[in-house]
Structures are given as structure tokens and as C-alpha cells.
Structure 1
Amino acid sequence: MAVTALGEYLRARRAQVRPEEVGVPKYGVRRVPGLRREEVATLAGVSVDYYIRLEQGRENSPSPQVLDALSDVLRLDDDAREHLYRVAGLTPGTSRATAPERVDPELLRLMDMWPDNPAIVLGRAYDVLAGNQLAYALFDGFQHGPNLLMKIFLDPGARSFYPDWERVARYTVAGFRLLEGRTPNDPRIREVVDELSRRSADFAEMWNRHEARGARLASKRFRHPDVGELTLRINAFDVKSAPGQELIVYHAEPGSRSAEALALLGTLAVTEALG
């Protein structure tokens, strides 16, 4: 039987809802994690047969009303609900993107005018398309990239670099899942997912949870080999001149230990650049 993105998503999310969260009495030993199919169907107000056909890929045209009801039962937030609509085919994804991504020269010049703030531009598959001098110093050359997901899951030093590695990894994967739902036919996104699924068991486990979330972490902790630990705030901006690209800017709280470490890192970067 053909497996569909909608069926996979429904099964994965169903398994993550505890019966007591939705008022389902829990009696005896349950053979499945989360909710049973018939419980989801009853709570959503659809027939059990119809819901089974959705999961099995034999029904591919649910109405918005059905999706809204399922979103409520599966306790989906706004991002996850949007992803459900997309995998159900009710929100159009973007066209297949194959052209090489380029960063606007004006944006590059702007980033270079921020010597005190690490700044990077991410492409449609979290490829690092550009960065200013301080960003490259912070991320130490983007080993196993230049791709943010590759660094998180394949770089041997990632778990040391990110003291909150699991939290960072889960948020990044959930954001990538939402991105994949918006552009399901993008070959670069498929390439990243396939490679990481093959090379990282941690990624495969997180990816199969089907979490979809657009909001990024407001701050991250980094442990840099030269300047120690930093906590940096994050601001993300869509690049209007290049849909799909995102500008990420980091900054430290003025007067903090992190601000001092970031300033030292900037000095070291300049010194190294001058030879």
C-alpha cells in the first residue's frame, strides 16, 4: 500500500498524544503508543474507516473542516497545523527549485558593516550561503557543510559547541520539517534529508517524530574553543529579494560576559585575517 506524507504525519503525531491529554480513559495495557486510530476518529467526528483510509493513503482529499478537527485532537500548534494542510495538498507548495542560490551583493555589504554581530544567510535547505567575518569565527569554518543541519548532526564537535545540543537539534529539525512541507519537491531539501537519515541515527529519530515548528530559539548557548561559553540572542529576517533565504543575526547582552567573549572573538578574527 502506498505510503503518503499525510498518512505518515498523522501516524507520527497520533503516537505522541497521551490519552489523558484529550480526556480518553486509560484502561489496561495499550499496545500502541499515544492514541488509537478509533480514538482519533471519534474525537475528530469522522468514521473510523475514513480515518484509517487517510492514514493508509487510500483517501487523499480531506476537507479543511476534517483537518481542523484532526489538528485539535492531535494538539497541533499553528506551525504543525500549517504543515498538516500542506501535506494534505490544501496549501500549495512552491515550485521545484533547482537554480543555484546567490546572495544579493548589497546584503553582503550590509553584513560586513556589522563587525560586532555574527550574521549568516541561510538558503532554502539551511545551506549557509554567506557569513560575515565574525560569523565564520564563531562557527569555526562550518565543518561538514556549509549546511546548518550537517554541522549539528555530523560535526564531531557539535555536542560540545552547542551545550544544549538536543534542544537546538530538535528545534532545527522541526523548522526543517516545516520547510520541507512548503517545498516538498525541492531536490536540495530531499538530498539533505536523505544524507542525514543515512548518516545520523539521531537525525532519523527526530525526523520521524514529524514535529513542525517555525519559531526559532530566541537565544542559543555556544562553547567556543578560543573564548569559552557565550549566550547570544537570535534575530531572523526573511530576505525579500530572494524568497526562501533567511538572514540570521546574533548579538550579546551589552556588558555581559558573552559580550566580552564576542568582542575577544572579533579581535582574534581580525588578527588572524591580517596574518
Structure 2
Amino acid sequence: MRGIIGSTSSPTDLSDFLRVRRSRLTPEDIGIAPAGGRRRVAGLRREEVARTAGISVDYYTRMEQGRVTGASPEILDALATALRLDDVEARHMHRLAGADFRPWRRRTVPVQEQPQTARPMLKDMLESLHGMPALVMGRGMTVLAWNRAAAALLGDFASMDPADRNLARLTFLDPASRSLYGRWDVCARESVAYLRLEAGLYPGDPVLASTVGELAYRSPEFRALWAEHPVQDKTSGTKDFRHPIVGELQLTYETLRAADDPRQALLAYTPADSASADALRLLLDWTAYAPTAAGASSGLR
């Protein structure tokens, strides 16, 4: 439980990551002939990973057991190739292993101890996005600012306790999210994957630790997904919504980050098709005539 609630990188985190990734591959996936004998567990054997990465079986075994510190970037790169990791997953593994290619970490420590407030530039951009749901997301997926369209779509953030204004928290702990999101399971996994990425980037962050700790305690689904070690940045994508007022919408989102403070991001949603554009306009017209119902319209608190 410490590895979940603390949200810090440790040898156990790296061990779990390696085991999960190894279990998801087969010899055929990496282009090798299966080792002889009956396979007692799913996935690759340790010796198959080691052979593909060009390292000794003993060394890789000790890595999985958390008995190796200071693995070289070259070995980690070889393991990333052997385990078929993408760029985000490979960077995450380097960070879990303590690879020294993150010079910006020390510069972010003082920022982590300060209260979160939306940057003025991002708030100005937010206000300019009329008719487009948008919000400013901070550390641990905390919602720092939002416009009227975002409140109409996602919930009345103004009426929530500040501690509840968190996208991951709403996804896992607010029952209304399961009907609002057309593919709740996908949204849930994406949230966990982004929090995992942040945990690797900013170990020890108190906001992130609090968010992960609460979700791990209160949501069995979060705990199960966290244990799988998904890793994914939140850059762009498509989300399906089933809004109780206007029905189905498909919206694409883009994430814009400030160069000097990448932990704050502006998320903006745009309609993916004409039907979604019509539904979004209808929703905004409805909330314009009933502004106090903006949050209630989505069903989220």
C-alpha cells in the first residue's frame, strides 16, 4: 500500500513495472522462439527478456527483485526495446530506475510546495474560448479554472468543495461520471496512466500523493488499474459523452502547456462532427437561460 499512497518512485515500483510489462508479451511478440518446457505463467520468462535485451539473466532477475540501483541508461534503453515500450513508457521506466536525465526535477520542487493557482495567461486564454468547453488542470489532475461551457458539460465546479475539483476524483468517485462518459473504462485508465506518469516525474509531490492515496483507499477499480502500471501523457484525443440534457456528443480535446510550468495545462474540447456541434450549442443555449442549472445538467456534483 505504501507504493500506492506515497506515490513515490521506489525499487518496488520499478519491479512491479517490469513484471507487468513482461507478463503482457509472448515470445512471438518479440520475434523469438519460445523457450522449451511448459509455461507456468503468462507472458515472457525472465531469461527471454534478458536475452533480448542483451543482459545477463542474473542482472535482470535482481532488477525485478528490486536489488539493483543505478542501472545505466544503456541497459534501460535495451530493456525498453525488449519490452516493446513506447517513448512515454520508456521515459517513465528511466525515471522509476532513477536514471539521471531529468535535470528539471530540482527546479520544480519549490513549486510543488506552493498552493495551486491558475496562471494568468492560461486563464486569459480560457476566457477567450467562448462556446468551447475548456479548463485549466494542475498537479494531480486538479481543476484550477474553467469556463461556462466546461461547467455545462462536466459539472458545476463552482459549487464543489475545492478538494473535489479533480478530474480523476470525479471519474472514480462520482457515480454520475459512469453515465456521462460514453467509455468510462477508457477514461478511467487514461486518468490512472496520467497520474502514473506524474508520479514518475514528480515523486513526493504532496498534491499527487493525496489524490492517489484517496483514490487507492476508496476505489477498488483505481487500485486494480494502478497495479497494472499504465503510463500515458494527456496530450490529445477523443471522448464520447452521454449528456442527460442533449444526449450523445463526441468531442476532441487538445492540451496546451506553458513552457515554463508544464504542470499546468489548458484542456480545450471541440466537436468531432456536426451532430456534436449542434448538441453542444443546444447545451450552451440551455445553460444560458438556466445558469444555475449548469452543474446539475451534467449530473456531476
* Fold match by TM threshold 0.5: yes
Q: Match of 1:161?
A: 180
Q: Which of 45, 48, 51 in structure 1 is aligned with 2:54?
A: 45
Q: 1:113 to 1:157 in 2, by over 3 A?
A: same
Q: CA offset at residue 171 of structure 1? A: 2.1
Distance in structure 1 (CA, Å) of the matches to 2:292 and 2:117: 27
Q: Which runs of 5+ in 2 are unaligned?
A: 1-9, 294-301
Q: By how many angstroms is 1:27 displaced?
A: 5.5
**Distance in 2 separating the partners of 1:58 and 1:138:** 48
Percent identical across equivalent pairs? 41
2:214 and 2:117 map into 1 onto residues whose CA distance is 23
Q: What SS class does the counterpart of residue 125 from structure 1 fall into?
A: helix
Residue 258 (str. 1) matches residue 264 (str. 2): no
1:33 aligned residue: 42
Matched, 1:172 2:181: no
Structure 2 counterparts to residues 181-220 of structure 1, below 5 A: 181-220=200-239
The one-letter amino acid of 1:206's match is L
C-alpha displacement of 1:217: 4.8
Secondary structure of the 2:262 match is coil
Structure whose residues are more often helix by fraction: 2
> Residue 213 of structure 2 aligns to which amino acid in structure 1?
D
Cα drift, residue 183 of structure 1: 0.5
For residue 253 of structure 2, the aligned residue among 234, 237, 258 is: 234
Q: Which residue of 1 aligns with 2:4?
A: none
Secondary structure of residue in 1 paired with 2:281 = helix
Q: Quote how far apart the aligned CAs of 1:78 are.
A: 0.5
Which residue is 1:127 aligned to?
142
Aligned length: 273
Shift of 1:147: 0.7
Indicate whether 1:105 and 2:120 are aligned: yes
Q: Distance in 2 between matches of 1:122 and 1:269?
A: 23
Equivalent residues of 1:171, 1:216 under 8 A apart: no
* CA distance in structure 2 between the aligned counterparts of 1:274 and 1:65, rounded to whole angstroms: 57
Task: Indicate if the aligned counterparts of 1:124 and 1:245 stay in contact, CA closer than 8 A.
Answer: yes
Quick check: 1:69 aligned with 2:88?
Answer: no
Q: What residue identity is the alignment partner of 2:165?
A: P
Q: 6, 14, 19: which is aligned to 2:27? A: 19
Deviates most, 72-81 or 165-174: 165-174
CA separation of 1:45 and 1:229: change in aligned 2, threshold 3 A: same
TM-score normalised according to structure 1 size: 0.91
Who is 2:288 aligned against? 270
Change (3 A) 1:67 1:116: same
Q: Deviation at 1:272?
A: 2.2
Q: Which structure has more RCO (C-alpha within 8 Å, separation ≥ 6)?
A: 2
Deviations 1:76-115 (A, max 9, x none): 0010001011111113345441211111334323322222
TM-score with structure 2 setting the length: 0.84
Structure 1 gap segments, 5+ residues each = none
Aligned partner of 1:115 among 130, 134, 139: 130
Pick which of 43-52 and 4-13 moved more. Answer: 4-13
- Equivalent residue for 1:249, pick from 261, 265, 268: 268
Matched residue SS, 1:4? helix
Q: 1:216 to 1:167 in 2, by over 3 A?
A: farther
Moved more, 235-244 or 217-226: 235-244
- Out of 238-247 and 182-191, give the one that drifted further: 238-247
CA contact under 8 A between 2:53 and 2:78: conserved in structure 1?
yes
User: Does the CA-based 8 Å contact 1:87-1:181 persist in structure 2?
Assistant: yes
| Greater shift in the superposed pair: 186-195 or 144-153 | 144-153
Which range moved further: 138-147 or 206-215? 138-147
Higher deviation after alignment, 211-220 or 24-33: 24-33
Asked if 2 retains the 8 angstrom alpha-carbon contact of 1:118 and 1:251, the reply is: yes
Report if aligned partners of 2:25, 2:43 keep a CA contact under 8 Å in 1: yes
